[in-house]
Structure 1
Amino acid sequence: MLKKFVTLAAGAFALVSTVANAQVSAPKYSNEFLNIGVGGRALGMGNVQSAIVSDATAGFWNPAGLTDLKHKYNIVGMHSELFAGSVKNDYLSFATPLDTSSALAVSLIRVGVDDIVDTRRLYSASGQIQYDSIQFFSVADYALLVSYARKSNLLPGLKLGANTKIIYRHVGSFATCWGFGFDAGAQLERRRWKFGLVAKDITTTFNAWSINTDELREVYLATNNDLPKNSVEITMPRLIAGVARDFKMGEKFTALVATDLDFTFDGKRNVLLRSGLVSVDPHVGAEIGYGGIVFLRGGINNIQQFEKLEGGKSWKVQPNFGVGAAMGGLNLDLALSKVADNSNVSSVIVSLGYKFDK
């Protein structure tokens, strides 16, 4: 039975590789705001979720996990601030079982920088400063995900899911973008072992940019630059494979250890394993629970190599920590991520979930 799941994973890997090779002109790091992650539990574990997610955030991490919902109504909201609060990352999801075998979720994500100062008209034609001409604008990325999951009859313990995502991005009044794509996922449980597989942007996601040249013409001509043109940006497929194992330690304590491998096909990235064809970025996370009420979490991700100022290279990782509490259908999760090894600035993530039947 496990062999069939491995065969399914290999087939998905081959499909993603084929699509990637057909779109060699696609840029790297397209729609990267969707790879920041959502939920205090996930971010406290280094974004390791493909095999273990089972709440309303499954619509984002792996839609197959929605089949494990235990309550009729499931809501999760999150707020985090990155880079000393300059970037706001907000998330809201609602999920519900449709019957004993299927479930549906709707998720909304916004990542944005607000109140950016526009000083293009600060000086008048006579050279005088006009403070009342200063305006403000926002740069924000939005994603709406509609997810569906169902238990499969192909293999005992196999769950399948997919989502449709609509993307909207805007840079003030200067440019807007609309995108559309699909994700697909699977989970399999064998005793205390859990396996997960997610293919993001499985058909590639197309993003159509529309540039408001009237807003930019004056500045671009004055600085001797060419005006940008409308264009199409393609987000290449990404494959995530995960495995996890849970343990019981006495009557009250539980432990969970999980790892994910992210496979990208848009060229060589600064990750642990990389080549011109595929790059592999590993994540590792762990969670210790007491009585199903209190949880302590940790994880590492973003393993990258940096050039030293004094010469040579070194490897650095991003550590993550989190705590959680669950009682009466209410879940509160906090996570802390250090954004850089040489920085005292950390990202604080707060997420709140509520599950109920009436």
Structure 2
Amino acid sequence: MTYAILCFLWLITPIYGQTEFSFESARPLYVGARALGIGNAFTAVADDATAGFWNPAGLIQWQGVKLFGVNKFYNRADYRFDPKGIGYSYRGYSLFWGNKIAIGVDSGVPDFNYYSIARQLGSSVAAGLSLKFKRRHPSNVYQFFGYQTNYDIGLLFKPRPNLKFGCLAQNLEGYGIQWLTLGTAYRYDVYQFSVDVAFPTDRTTPEVYIGAEWDRFPIVPIRLGFSNGAWTVGIGVAWKGIHIDYARIFEKPAASDFIGIVISFQ
């Protein structure tokens, strides 16, 4: 069984020749140190303040206000990526604002503002919508919106307390859907396993993301993931309403380290 899994991972590992990172477009990858620690397999998990990026339907999974910020603190000479956001959820309704900006990448300064809304549709189903506004650089004024608007549509289905399915349909440019991501998350005792498969509409090869989280001691969860060819590891520290997470992704040409914080108010 172990041999078969290793062969599968080897087969889906891409060759690193590209210079563009996946987070340079309006996709959620790398947003949140917890999500990165489990290999960016977060579409069906989406249960913290980063859900507005990953799957807006997931925003209804908590009550109150959550703020988050992420900082790439190691290997910033390669690129900088520091997303942040705030979400509010109350009785099955949720609102969210987030921003992600990358500096030092070949595509310029990709900068996106996200505005999201979510609604619980029943005991086991939720839906959400994110509007994504790409902001212009350089600019002398603060841009609440931007010159290009795209959208995400998210669904979350929880048929059992320990099983969830997520779907994220993404419009990145023009009309229609360019990416469709299907995810599942399963909890067994103190372990949570998650898998995302992202299907591009312009080619046949999907991207695969796999993650696991072990919270034998809930205040110090440990994480491992496989992000479409790059291994990831992570660890967290939780104390009352404060969660601090660390993640490392072994990407090319060098590994990168991220730290994130989530603060909850109920």
- Interval of TM-score (by shorter of Structure 1 and Structure 2): 0.7 to 0.9
Match of 1:75 in 2: 67
Counterpart amino acid of residue 243 in structure 1:
T
Over aligned residue pairs, what C-alpha RMSD do you find? 2.6
How far 1:353 sits from its partner (Å)? 0.7
Contact kept? 2:28, 2:54, Cα under 8 Å: no
Contact kept? 1:106, 1:146, Cα under 8 Å: yes
Q: 2:222 aligns with which of 285, 296, 319?
A: 296
Secondary structure of 2:221 counterpart: strand
Contact kept? 1:82, 1:88, Cα under 8 Å: no
Match of 1:160 in 2: 127
Structure 2 unmatched ranges of 5 or more: 1-21, 141-145
How far 1:34 sits from its partner (Å)? 3.4
How far 1:169 sits from its partner (Å)? 4.2
Q: Could you tell me how far apart the structure 2 residues matched to 1:82 and 1:265 are? A: 34
How far 1:95 sits from its partner (Å)? 0.5
Deviates more, 1:86-95 or 1:56-65: 86-95
Kindly indicate whether residue 37 of structure 2 is the aligned counterpart of residue 44 of structure 1. yes
How far 1:235 sits from its partner (Å)? 8.8
Contact kept? 2:220, 2:238, Cα under 8 Å: yes
- Percent identity over the alignment is 26
CA gap 1:93/1:179 in 2 versus in 1, 3 angstroms: same
Q: Matches of residues 312-323 of structure 1 in structure 2 within 5 Å?
A: 317-323=229-235
Q: 2:241 aligns with which of 319, 324, 329?
A: 329
Kindly indicate whether residue 184 of structure 2 is the aligned counterpart of residue 243 of structure 1. yes
Secondary structure of 1:67 counterpart: helix
Q: Could you tell me how far apart the structure 2 residues matched to 1:83 and 1:171 are? A: 24
Counterpart amino acid of residue 104 in structure 1:
L
Q: Could you tell me how far apart the structure 2 residues matched to 1:301 and 1:75 are? A: 25
Q: Could you tell me how far apart the structure 1 residues matched to 2:151 and 2:50 are? A: 17
Structure 1 unmatched ranges of 5 or more: 1-28, 117-137, 207-233, 249-253, 268-277, 303-316
Q: Could you tell me how far apart the structure 2 residues matched to 1:348 and 1:186 are? A: 30
Match of 1:199 in 2: 169
Q: Could you tell me how far apart the structure 2 residues matched to 1:65 and 1:339 are? A: 28
TM-score (norm 2): 0.82
How far 1:281 sits from its partner (Å)? 1.1
Contact kept? 2:169, 2:177, Cα under 8 Å: no
TM-score (norm 1): 0.62
Q: Could you tell me how far apart the structure 2 residues matched to 1:147 and 1:244 are? A: 22
How far 1:139 sits from its partner (Å)? 3.5
Number of corresponding residues = 239
1:308-347: CA deviation from partner (whole Å, max 9, x where unpaired): xxxxxxxxx310000011111000000001113xx5x210
1:242-265: CA deviation from partner (whole Å, max 9, x where unpaired): 1111011xxxxx100110000001
CA gap 1:146/1:240 in 2 versus in 1, 3 angstroms: same
Q: Matches of residues 155-234 of structure 1 in structure 2 within 5 Å?
A: 156-170=123-137, 178-191=147-160, 192-201=162-171, 205-206=173-174
Contact kept? 1:236, 1:266, Cα under 8 Å: no
Q: 2:195 aligns with which of 259, 282, 290?
A: 259
Q: Could you tell me how far apart the structure 2 residues matched to 1:51 and 1:290 are? A: 21
Higher relative contact order (Cα pairs below 8 Å, separated by 6+ residues): 2
